[in-house]
Structure 1
Amino acid sequence: MKWNLRMAAAQRGIWKASEFRRLLAERGIEMSVGKLSGLWSGTPSVLRPDELDAFCAVLGCTISDLIEAEPDTVPAPAADAEEHGQAVGQDRDTAVGPVRRVTPKPRTGRSLPPR
C-alpha cells in the first residue's frame, strides 16, 4: 500500500501538518500531534474510517487519492507441502515413500487445576 497523504495535501495547498490538523479539528476530528505526525510522514498501520472520511472531506479527494494499492509487492503463496508429497519441514531430496499422517491420540483424564 502506498500512502499519499502529503501529496494529496500538497495538491490542495496544505504544506504543514499543523495546518491540516486545524482543518481536521474544524470537521470534528481531534487528532494528537504525534498521531498526525506519524500519518503525515509515514504509512499508517491503523486508520479509522471516520478519520479517513474526514481526510477526504478536508482535502476534497477520494480514498483512492490517499491510498494506492501495490499488489506486485505481495509475495506469491508458497507451494503446499501436500501437493509435493512431503512432510512439512522435510526436504524434497530426503522424502522417501508416501507421507505418513500423524493422528493425535484422545486425551484421557483431566489436567490438574492451576496452583
Structure 2
Amino acid sequence: MKWNLRLAAANRGIWKASELQHMLAERGLVISAGKMSGLWSGNPNAVKLHDLDVLCAVLECGIDELLIPEPDTIAAPAPSAGEKAAVIGEARAVTPRARSGRSLPPR
C-alpha cells in the first residue's frame, strides 16, 4: 500500500502539516507534532481506523485516495518443497505401520 496523504492534502490546498494538524484538532483528533510529521512525510507503520475516518472527513476524500494499493510489489508465492515432490516424484503406496505397543490412558 502506498500512503498518499500529502498529495490528497495538496489537492485540497493544504500545503503544510501544521495546517492539517489544526484542521484535525478542530474535528477532535489531537495529534502530536511527531506523529503528524510521520503521517505527513512517510509511510506510517500503523494508523488507527478512527484517525483514518477523521482524515477522510477533514480532506473530504475516500480511503482509496489516502491508501493506494500496489499489487505489483507483492511477490508471487514460491511452490513449497512438498508441492515440488508431489509434482516431480512418483506416487508411492501407503503402507500401515504397526502400533508401538503403548497403552491407552486411564479412564
Normalised-by-shorter TM-score class: 0.7 to 0.9
Of structures 1 and 2, the one scoring higher in RCO (CA 8 A, sep 6+) is 2
Which residue number in structure 1 is paired with residue 44 of structure 2?
44
SS at match of 2:13: coil
Distance in 2 of aligned mates of 1:63 and 1:32: 22
Distance in 2 of aligned mates of 1:83 and 1:13: 54
| TM-score after normalising by structure 1 | 0.73
Q: Which runs of 5+ in 2 are unaligned?
A: 91-107
Distance in 1 of aligned mates of 2:78 and 2:5: 34
| TM-score after normalising by structure 2 | 0.78
Which residue number in structure 2 is paired with residue 8 of structure 1?
8
Residue 87 (structure 2) pairs with residue 84 (structure 1) = no
- Cα deviation, residue 84, structure 1: 1.5
Distance in 2 of aligned mates of 1:8 and 1:66: 7
- Cα deviation, residue 85, structure 1: 1.9
Residue 61 (structure 2) pairs with residue 61 (structure 1) = yes
- The alignment of Structure 1 onto Structure 2 pairs a total of residues equal to 88
Q: Percent of pairs identical after alignment?
A: 58
Q: Partner amino acid for 1:67? A: L
Q: Which runs of 5+ in 1 are unaligned?
A: 87-96, 99-115
Distance in 2 of aligned mates of 1:77 and 1:17: 39
Superposed CA RMSD in Å reads: 1.5
- Cα deviation, residue 44, structure 1: 1.2
